């Protein structure tokens, strides 16, 4: 059976690629990604399962699933022309993706799937820094974190629990890493942007609370307090917290081994070791 060896929560801010390309590997965000990469390299994963948001690129209003699994043998991107990022072909573990969908449907999750899809910065910014050779197959699990009605935090937490069950029942002896990406508080293109910027952090206090929930492994409180109203207060992109909550459904009550924040951006970098 497969083994879940680690989990990582990281941001996917699209400007990071251009920033590091311009300023070099000593810029703080490059060092943060390098710290996560060190942990990733250490656990030697065979596949990455990634909870993520699509930014109206892979899906649109004519077909916007609540939860969807990417089931293919390859994808590519960035479909949104992320600044300074090259075009990547990315392997996908079709077997695991199909297995997750099957287990999900058999356990009360009506998972949608897509077999022909491209990906945007939300998946590729972390991979650009963590697996630049794109040598590790992925399985993307898309969560609707933007378009009302969004799934509840409790439902996303249960999704993570189901994904853990699916991976641990997958009859392939592979080492699996779980990732989630997004921001904890973020406004893009809305009235709460910082002056002279294209983004804002409307609720830094909430972002700080979320980080404390990570530190203490107080996941029940995080789930309880991640209400529709709280998410809306934290910004028009703050629904990405649901990706982290799904990841925590896999992680359980383990405390992180690495946690650093970017409060000025509403971001956090978190790592958990889960291998035996």
Give the containing element (helix H, strand E) for 52: strand 47-52
- For residue 276, pLDDT over 80 is answered with no
In a domain, 53, yes or no: yes
What is residue 198's predicted lDDT score, i.e. its pLDDT?
Answer: 87
Model's pTM, two decimal places? Answer: 0.97
C-alpha–C-alpha distance, residues 183 and 200, integer Å: 11
Q: What is the largest CA-CA distance in the chain?
A: 53
In a domain, 202, yes or no: yes
The total domain count for the chain is: 1
C-alpha–C-alpha distance, residues 159 and 141, integer Å: 10
In a domain, 114, yes or no: no
**Which CATH number is 16's domain given?**
3.40.830.10
C-alpha–C-alpha distance, residues 274 and 276, integer Å: 7
Q: Tell me the CA distances in angstroms from 61 to 56, 73, 190, one per residue in order.
A: 8, 26, 20
pLDDT digits (tens, 9 = 90+) for 42-81: 999 999 999 999 999 999 999 999 999 999 999 999 999 8
In a domain, 91, yes or no: no
In a domain, 10, yes or no: yes
Alpha-carbon 124 to chain mean position: 11
Neighbouring C-beta atoms of residue 143, cutoff 10 Å? 26
In a domain, 30, yes or no: yes
In a domain, 77, yes or no: no
pLDDT band at residue 196 using 50, 70 and 90 as cut-offs:
confident
C-alpha–C-alpha distance, residues 151 and 31, integer Å: 34
In a domain, 124, yes or no: no
Boundaries of domain holding 158: 3-67+100-109+143-273
């Amino acid at each position: 059976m497969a083994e879940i060896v680690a989990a990582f929560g990281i941001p996917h801010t699209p400007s990071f690629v251009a920033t590091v390309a311009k300023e070099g590997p000593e810029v703080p965000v490059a060092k943060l990604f390098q710290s996560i990469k060190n942990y990733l390299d250490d656990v030697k994963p065979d596949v990455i399962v990634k909870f993520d948001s699509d930014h109206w690129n892979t899906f649109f209003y004519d077909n916007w699933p609540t939860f969807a699994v990417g089931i293919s043998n390859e994808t590519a991107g960035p479909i949104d022309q992320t600044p300074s990022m090259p075009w990547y072909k990315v392997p996908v573990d079709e077997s695991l993706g199909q297995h997750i969908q099957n287990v999900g449907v058999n356990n009360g999750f009506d998972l949608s799937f897509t077999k022909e899809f491209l990906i945007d910065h939300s998946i590729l910014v972390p991979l650009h820094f963590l697996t630049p050779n794109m040598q590790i197959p992925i399985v993307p699990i898309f969560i609707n974190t933007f378009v009302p009605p969004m799934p509840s935090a409790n439902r996303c937490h249960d999704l993570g629990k189901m994904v853990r069950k699916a991976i641990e029942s997958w009859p392939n002896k592979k080492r699996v890493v779980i990732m989630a990406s997004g921001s904890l508080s973020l406004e893009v293109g809305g009235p709460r942007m910082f002056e002279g910027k294209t983004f804002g952090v409307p609720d830094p206090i909430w972002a700080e609370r979320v980080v404390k929930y990570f530190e203490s492994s107080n996941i029940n409180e995080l789930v309880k307090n991640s209400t529709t109203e709280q998410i809306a207060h934290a910004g028009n992109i703050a629904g990405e917290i649901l990706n982290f909550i799904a990841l925590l459904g896999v992680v359980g009550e383990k405390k992180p081994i690495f946690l650093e924040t970017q409060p000025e951006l509403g971001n956090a970098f978190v790592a958990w070791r889960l291998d035996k």
